[in-house]
Amino acid sequence: MASMKREIVTGLNVIFGLLLIGWPFMALFTVNLAEDARALQNGYMLAVLLTVWPYPFLYLVALAWSRAALTRNRSRRHAIKIALLPAINLALVLIATVSYWGHCGGRFGC
């Protein structure tokens, strides 16, 4: 059973690591949206920027922390919860992006 949870943590880390492949595209997308000087005055745009840009850092923290939790004989469930931290960020990115899109009347950039 302990091996299964170790595999779950490893799988989550791999999945969220593979999502780093798409991060540069989303980061460039947000930079293009924020080109206008007025864009950063928009709270929705600021929310998108503040949720997209910290993802790599949050992933690395979750990766190191979940690995440390596994090696320190902590609860495996605790390590799984730590490995799921990037999912919270992804949910916030989705919420912020959809909110910005809705605020601009179905267009990106307003």
User: Model confidence over 35-85: pLDDT tens digits?
Assistant: 776 777 778 888 888 899 999 999 999 999 988 888 877 677 888 888 899
Q: Would you state the torsion angle of the CA atoms of residues 67, 68, 73, 79, taken in this order, to the nearest 10 degrees? A: -50
- pTM, entire model: 0.80
Asked if residues 28 and 53 have their Cβ atoms less than 8 Å apart, the reply is: no
Closest CA to 2 of 73, 63, 83: 73
Average pLDDT, the chain: 85
* DSSP-assigned letters across all residues of 21-33: GTHHHHHHHHHHH
pLDDT of residue 1: 52
Location of structure tokens 């997308």: 29
